[in-house]
Structures are given as C-alpha cells and as structure tokens.
C-alpha cells in the first residue's frame, strides 16, 4: 500500500479524535446477523444444568429450550446450533443412537419447528462423537478411524436430520468425501433446499476441552483425533480441504477453532469468495470468561474478539456469547 502525503499535512489521528468520527470511519462492524448461538440439550424435564468449565452456559432439557431460544429470537439471532449430551448408556462403538429418530437432536428439531416454525434457523452437527463409546467422530477398526464406512453412517444421520426439519446440515467429522455423498443423498430424497455448512477446516486443537465436557465425550475419548482433524501447523492444506468441499456441494464452510486461526479465515475468504463461518470454540470462550471474572481483562474483550473474526473475513460466528452480544447490539 502506498500512502500519499506526509506529516504534518497527513495526521492519521484526526479521524480518531472523536467517537462520531471513529464510528464513521470504522472498517468493520458487528451485528446480531453475524451470530450463531450453540445450545446444549439434555434428556429429562425442567432441566437447566451448569457446565462446570463454561461459565453462564447451560444444558437445557427440550421443554426448557424456550428459556434460551426466546432470547435468541428477541435479539434477532438468525440461527441456533444444536448439540446433545447423550446418556452413556445409549453410546456404543458404532454411534447407533445418531440414527435413532427419537434421539435428543431429532426431538429438539421437531420441538423447535413446531413451536417456532421458520422464525429461526436450525443447524445440526453431523458427527458420531456424541454417540460413540470411544469418543471419536467415526467408526473404528483395529485402532483406525474408518473413512468410507463412517461416511455411510453420516449420510444416514444427515438424511434423518433433514427429515426432522433441520435447515443446515453441518458435518464436523472431517472424513474425506462426506460432503459429496451427503449432498447427493439429500438431493435424491428431495431435500434440495437443505443447506450444508461444512466444517472444512477443523484443526486437531487443544481448545475443545470444555465442549467435550458439555456433550459428555471428554471422559470417553481414547487417544487423539490427529489422523482426521488438521495439523495446526498447516494452512495451505486448509485451501485444499475447502476446495474439495466446495466442489462436492458445500454452501458454506467453517474454520474451527477461531482466534488462533484468523490467518486461515482470511486466506479462505480471499481465495474462494464463499461464506466463511468461524467457531469461537469452548476453550476460547472459557479463557476469556475466566479472565473477565478474575479481573485480568475487561468485558470489552468479547466484542473485540468477535470483531476480529469479521476483520479477518468471517461471514458469521458461532459463539457462546451470541445471546449476550446480540442484546448489547440490538
């Protein structure tokens, strides 16, 4: 970039002198339209469970979903993402509960659609880790995560969610080829308008711990996920992942985690001009919340962190702050 002019004729601080001037010249802004609210659900009645390592985030029984969803609607959040806490008794090596039409996610979709119609979008995670006894996203044979066999299960999971009324299918499993298979199956069953948000760039990260506690897979997980999730040292690989998923039919792509990967968000946006979503994951949320609660940093860090996603090129952000921030921005 070439800047014409020089000091003292050019004083960049002039535009920063007043609040109204800073607002007029801001390059990026945040609104409720940029936010997606994750909701954890649990079996039972009248439940609102504390999640130990995620302050002010709760698990809700389906009948208590309005406690959080009414706020999302009031503050004009466009979409919620549903994540289940599956009872360990329902888990097995094959993740069979994922294909049960009366599992938590399916019942939650039906409940939301009946109560709220199409007033808010529903995004559903497609992966097996909430349902497997080993905590992995796919099927295992001889300590290997099976790709093609897992994809077949994910296709059926996607079809079931679409049948229940899910608006956005979001495969987060990182199996090769699953987007094309899911898109083909959805179209064949006449779910042509069901959107696919691909977790195309999902890193094997240390920032997922509180989420795994929230869905009950943390204690189940055996080993790590490095054979299918991306290596955090890589960025060009992200472009290959996104390129393949776009060709296979992804409508939108996700980069996860968020703050440590702003460079990747920017790279994907500049190269593909497709809606790029970012996930401010549980570890990021908990670190900020603990900093706020101990007084190490101010609450202003919330808006600052979310705006950084917009600056990097994110079209939308999945964040546990969505309801709080939307209320402030409304």
Give the whole-angstrom CA distance, residue 106 versus residue 157: 10
36 neighbors 316 (Cβ within 8 angstroms):
yes
Q: Measuring CA to CA, how many Å separate 322 from each of 111, 202, 227, 298?
A: 21, 21, 32, 18
Nearest CA among 80, 86, 87, 52 for reference residue 66: 80
Is 256 tagged catalytic?
yes
* DSSP E strand stretches across 284-329: 316-318
State both tokens at 193. Answer: 């308008």
Catalytic residue among 202, 225, 269, 310: 202
* DSSP E strand stretches across 43-78: 48-50, 58-61
94 neighbors 137 (Cβ within 8 angstroms):
no
Catalytic residue among 225, 256, 269, 310: 256
State both tokens at 240. Answer: 């290959």
Residues with catalytic annotation? 202, 256
């Amino acid at each position: 970039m070439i800047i014409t002019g020089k000091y003292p004729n050019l004083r960049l601080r002039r535009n920063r002198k007043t609040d109204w001037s800073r607002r007029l010249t801001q390059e990026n802004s945040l609104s409720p339209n940029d936010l997606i609210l994750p909701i954890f659900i649990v079996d039972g009645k009248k439940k609102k469970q504390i999640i130990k390592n995620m302050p002010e985030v709760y698990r809700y029984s389906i009948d208590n979903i309005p406690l959080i969803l009414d706020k999302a609607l009031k503050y004009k959040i466009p979409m919620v993402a549903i994540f289940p806490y599956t009872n360990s008794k329902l888990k097995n090596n094959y993740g069979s509960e994922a294909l049960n039409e009366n599992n938590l996610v399916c019942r939650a979709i039906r409940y939301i659609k009946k109560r709220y119609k199409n007033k808010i979008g529903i995004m559903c995670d497609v992966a097996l880790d909430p349902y497997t006894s080993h905590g992995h996203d796919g099927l295992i044979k001889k300590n290997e995560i099976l790709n093609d066999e897992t994809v077949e299960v994910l296709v059926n999971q996607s079809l079931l969610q679409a049948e229940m009324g899910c608006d956005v299918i979001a495969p987060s499993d990182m199996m090769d080829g699953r987007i094309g298979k899911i898109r083909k199956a959805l179209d064949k069953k006449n779910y042509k308008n069901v959107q696919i948000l691909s977790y195309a760039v999902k890193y094997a990260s240390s920032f997922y711990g509180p989420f795994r506690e929230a869905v009950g897979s943390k204690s189940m997980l055996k080993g790590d996920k490095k054979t299918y999730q991306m290596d955090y040292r890589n960025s060009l690989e992200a472009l290959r992942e996104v390129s393949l998923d776009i060709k296979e039919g992804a409508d939108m792509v996700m980069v996860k985690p968020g703050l440590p990967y702003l460079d990747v968000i920017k790279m994907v946006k500049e190269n593909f001009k497709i809606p790029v979503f970012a996930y401010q994951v549980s570890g990021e949320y908990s670190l900020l919340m603990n900093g706020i609660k101990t007084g190490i940093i101010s609450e202003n860090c919330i808006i600052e962190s979310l705006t950084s996603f917009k600056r990097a090129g994110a079209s939308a952000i999945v964040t546990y702050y969505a309801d709080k921030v939307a209320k402030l921005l409304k």
